[in-house]
Structure 1
Amino acid sequence: MINAVDVIRAKRDGRALTTAQIEWVIAAYTDGTVADEQMSALAMAILLNGADDREIADWTKAMIDSGDRLDLSRVGRPTVDKHSTGGVGDKITLPLAPLVASFGVAVPQLSGRGLGHTGGTLDKLETIPGFRTALSNEEFIDRLADPGAVVCAAGDRLAPADRRLYALRDVTGTVESIPLIASSIMSKKIAEGTDALVLDVKVGSGAFMKEVDAARRLAATMVRLGEAHGVRCTALLTDMSTPLGRTAGNALEVTESVEVLAGGGPADVVALTLALAREMLDLAGMPDADPAAALADGRAMDAWRAMVTAQGGDPDATLPTAPETDDVLAETDGVVTAMDAYDVGVAAWRLGAGRARQGDPVSAGAGVEILAAVGEPVKAGQPVLRLHADDPGRFEAARQVLAGAIEIGSVAPERRLVIDRIG
């Protein structure tokens, strides 16, 4: 007879779990037989000792089988999703989903909340007054048919095992495990029923994958999982050593995303949005589509407004702002040569933009605004970062983590935003 303690001990001691053990533990965790503290121990054992391809495939299938798999065939359009492994300032979903939808492609985006030092797409969208991230499966499919893009939380019956484990990983130091990341992402994406999927696998200090080789392994693992379940997949490895764009924080990132949809915004956010859009449109059978034109002529903005309205939000509403600000100043003249993405992410978290415990509220207006990005000249005493918080008592903790985050030198570095392509 299988029991939780034996499963934990097996993985603790470096042994591969059997298919039967994996099926049992996922089903038992879903129905509450396995307690959170037991799954926490198992997740830590997996983080420390890893899992082979067969175990990851079994774990992913068990998470899919814990709930329903959606049928999107009645949407009447090709369906293509994108998923990012998470980074600092990574707001790409917000402009990307409506941009791709403006070409008649349905974009089903089941997104999550903040994990560790990275921001969550749902947390960002919920800063828009009225925006609903909890939709029924029927509402989800209806909004895919019209307006064509939907960004929401997974429904109660879609990979429910992952919903519990996702939140648990955030507060138990087990976010970075390749097997757990791969199975979490792919169980939801396969269960949602999309035809194709583009993966944005982040690499660098602000990502869960710090090294290119580890990111490449994660990307290849997820592409294999998708193809095995009939989902066409490609993956881009993208740089996360420096924050993406000029903001890290919920409402701050929404504002920046709207700037991109209006034809402006930071160059790196625009470049990555377009790179991922081209991959998605190619998988949808539109290799010659020009997403840059849709940003320039307003089609993408129209699709954004339609998406926000369809989910109960007001696209014209004023977004929340934090009442307190504090600036981090340049210590010398020169050029910003480095800005550690992880430190900026932790600072945003300490300012209130992230959560320390499962279910914690987040501040809509808190975060970090980058006034001088990597490659830009600064003078001593010039503001480089602006900190936003509801409570000025949070500034000191944020400043502590930022003490070594910014480097100023004489030569602007080159940044390779897209490092590799898998699949």
Structure 2
Amino acid sequence: MTDNPAGLTVVGVGADGWSGLSGTATAALTAADVILGSDRQLALLPAEVPGERVAWPSPLLPALPGLLDTHRGRRIAVLASGDPMFHGIGATLLRLGERVRIIPHPSSVSLAAARLGWPLADVDVLSLVTARVEELHPLIHPGRRILVLSRDASTPAEIAKLLTIRGYGDSTLTVLSQLGGRDEASVHGLAATVDLTGVNPLNVVAVECGRGGARLPTTPGLPDDSYDSDGQLTKREVRAVTLALLGPQPGELLWDIGAGSGSIAIEWMRSHRACRALAVESSPERAARIEANAGALGVPKLKVVVGRAPGALAGLPAPDVVFIGGGVTRDGVVEAAWAALPEGGRLVANAVTLESEAVLAAWYAKLGGELTRVAVSRASPVGGFTGWRTMMPVTIWTVVKP
């Protein structure tokens, strides 16, 4: 951590301003030589607080280290909205290596749960302050409760629109604004019909999901028709087995090489919010389809790299896990993927042709691992009867880098 002998204190403040602060918080602000915060937050301080007031620049993050260095050696107080460690500036400062004292205030989510009588342990929480509204998709399930931190006054309408398009227009929305302040207010109604005109920008959206919309499982193996595809799609049963062998862990980065429709990378990211993925696809048309599928299935942060492996892999962030769904027969693809993996990194490759199977067999002989063949049959009409139609078998090679 960076040395800061004079001290850096982060004080959470609510919409009720100075009157809602504890004695510890007011004492820290009164003793500060300089107070950093947004214009709105600084305006909440009474005139008798003596410290120099400095408003955040825009954009904040690139300027933050230099701003702190400018005031290094002085007693610095930073104003945060609510709980500084809940999607707040406190966590950002700690990531920068600062020595920070945190004085929290109830978060807007805690206040919203209190107003609604919702036990927080049973509620999903999502911040859309910097994220896209599509990240709401994986949380939408019949009867589930969700609390969403809004970016601004437009966020509640975006949420209502997404729910309605998804078939959950019967969901109940409650928009709670200025929580804890004198101007606290709420708007209540169904997603399909609620009037959100004039909503205050400082708001939290509470969603109680209806029961009429499409139901997508949380486990790997989404229905094939969940994806827009030109046929380059790892089928549902094989996809579930492949994801199990990939073994997603929170925070890991996956390279999905030859991504096709993006199904492996998408379901990798759906397994946990912290899972990350890069989808490498040589076809610009398919790359655009991957981005559309990622948004529709709730992982808009999926990064799509348009290019042909192995050349397209150069300069990418190092992966924790690699999946090769296409291009395994191309010279240098497996070599580049293997070289990029760290010790303990995992590689999974699928093959459906004799040529690609031969490549996997050769690598299996060289590096070991496991070879698995998956054959799936689906029932379908045969005249007036029902018979089995067998899909092309898939050979899967799995190996861990020693």
TM over 0.5: same fold?
no
Q: Which has the higher contact order (CA 8 A, sep 6+)?
A: 1
- Please give the TM-score of this superposition, normalised by the length of structure 2: 0.30
Q: Which has the higher helix share?
A: 1
Computing the radius of gyration over CA atoms, which structure comes out larger, 1 or 2?
Answer: 2
Q: Which has the higher strand share?
A: 2
- Please give the TM-score of this superposition, normalised by the length of structure 1: 0.29
